[in-house]
Amino acid sequence: MKEAAFYIKLDSGKTQCLLCPHECKINVGKRGICHVRKNVEGKLVSENYGQVCSLHFDPIEKKPLYHFYPGSTVFSVGSVGCNLHCRFCQNCEISQTSVGDFPFLKEYPASEIVRLAMQRKDNIGIAYTYNEPIVWYEFMLDVAKLAQNDGLKNVMVTNGFINPGPLKELMPLMDAFSVDLKAFDDGFYRKITSSRLAPVLETLNTLRRYDKHFEITNLVITAENDNEKEFADMVKWISGELGKETVLHISRYHPMYKMTNPATSVHKLMDFFRIAKEKLDFVYVGNVLTKEGQNTYCPECGHLLVERLGYSVDKTGLDEDGSCGKCGATVFNN
Ligand code: SF4
Ligand code: SF4
């Protein structure tokens, strides 16, 4: 447990958390919407500080990040809590609970996370993932500082629902982001995730302004956000605001948690893939193995650069510098 960053004290011992756009006003003894920030005697604390539920060496493609050190390994860590309540959450056991209600947490100092990450020579860094890392802010920051000092990369897998101030403080430390853009409709965000669209778009704009590496994942849910016009509008926004080189992962939904709609049809995913490819250079299809939508082709000459089968990655189309082996175009920055 550690005193939280980004909060103010109000009357009668109440606190207001300013970490995410919910800006919860929290009475003494109560928690915010995320279940892990609590008002203890007029002080806001991060209850999940150092409380770890999962530690794994994962392929970077699993985050998903396809254009950040393709084929590498990243040490992935997570805790409990989330500031969203998505009805389709695949990690609801950890995201929708509190520290006291989850019996499998183990406390780690920040330095131990970094020491464990350094054990594998092929590991590029640390990914803050599984639950929502925004609500693990203080611990993530402490780990990320040590990791950066030791030459490791820091990666966030996030819903992007964070206030601009805390996001800006992360900029010098984070190297890459995998951001969910769950829909292009504020009504969906409110009804299905208990949050709002505008702050997520603002986060994406900030990442572009800071020239950060980020990739977007859009989970297509049957009869919820699978409207073709809405999807085309989202792609147009991504291309216009963030650039046509922005990487988009279109991901297949399966029934989970409170959502019972049938799994997304592969036909629908492939239609969306083709719509997105009209405006974006790099579009992938995830959560299902398809013939199209797995590989990376050079946007300049069409040469096959990276071939993927599940998490196995073949980079033979790249030259030694990581540029296109045929025309020399720079596609990956690392
Ligand atoms: S981080 Fe948690 S407590 Fe803070 S505003 Fe967001 S949901 Fe509320
Ligand atoms: S943002 Fe992610 S972790 Fe949080 S509830 Fe939604 S799907 Fe689950």
* Packing angle of the helix pair 266-277, 228-237 (nearest 10 deg): 40
Ligand nearest to the CA of 137: 1
Q: Determine the pLDDT at residue 4.
A: 98
**Domain spans in the chain, listed from the N-terminal domain onward:** 2-46, 51-293, 295-334
- Is the CB of residue 137 less than 8 Å from the CB of residue 166? yes
- Is the CB of residue 30 less than 8 Å from the CB of residue 175? no
Q: Determine the pLDDT at residue 36.
A: 98
0.95 exceeded by pTM: yes
- Is the CB of residue 111 less than 8 Å from the CB of residue 144? no
Which atom of ligand 2 is found nearest the CA of 88?
7
135 C-beta closer than 6 A to ligand 1:
yes
Neighbouring CB atoms inside 10 A of 193's CB total: 23
Q: Determine the pLDDT at residue 332.
A: 86
24 C-beta closer than 6 A to ligand 1:
yes
Q: Which residues line ligand 2 (CB under 6 A)?
A: 82, 84-86, 89, 91, 95, 131-132, 159, 193
Q: Determine the pLDDT at residue 231.
A: 98
Neighbouring CB atoms inside 10 A of 48's CB total: 28
Q: How many residues does the chain have?
A: 334
Going by alpha carbons, the residue nearest to atom 3 of ligand 1 is: 32
Measured in Å, residue 150 CA sits from the centre of ligand 2 at: 30
What CATH superfamily classification does 51-293 receive?
Aldolase class I (3.20.20.70)
- The C-alpha atoms of residue 137 and residue 107 are separated, in whole angstroms, by 16
Q: Determine the pLDDT at residue 105.
A: 97
Going by alpha carbons, the residue nearest to atom 6 of ligand 2 is: 86
195 C-beta closer than 6 A to ligand 1:
no
Tens of pLDDT, residue by residue, the chain (334 residues): 899 999 999 999 999 999 999 999 999 999 999 999 999 999 999 999 999 999 999 999 999 999 999 999 999 999 999 999 999 999 999 999 999 999 999 999 999 999 999 999 999 999 999 999 999 999 999 999 999 999 999 999 999 999 999 999 999 999 999 999 999 999 999 999 999 999 999 999 999 999 999 999 999 999 999 999 999 999 999 999 999 999 999 999 999 999 999 999 999 999 999 999 999 999 999 999 898 999 999 999 999 999 999 899 999 999 988 899 999 999 987 7
Measured in Å, residue 325 CA sits from the centre of ligand 1 at: 47
- The C-alpha atoms of residue 212 and residue 303 are separated, in whole angstroms, by 26
Report residue 334 as tokens.
């690392």
Q: Determine the pLDDT at residue 15.
A: 98
Going by alpha carbons, the residue nearest to atom 8 of ligand 2 is: 89
Start-to-end CA span in the chain (Å): 36
Measured in Å, residue 300 CA sits from the centre of ligand 2 at: 36
What single letter denotes the amino acid at residue 240?
G
- The C-alpha atoms of residue 105 and residue 102 are separated, in whole angstroms, by 7
Measured in Å, residue 115 CA sits from the centre of ligand 1 at: 30
Q: Determine the pLDDT at residue 334.
A: 74
Radius of gyration of the chain (CA): 20
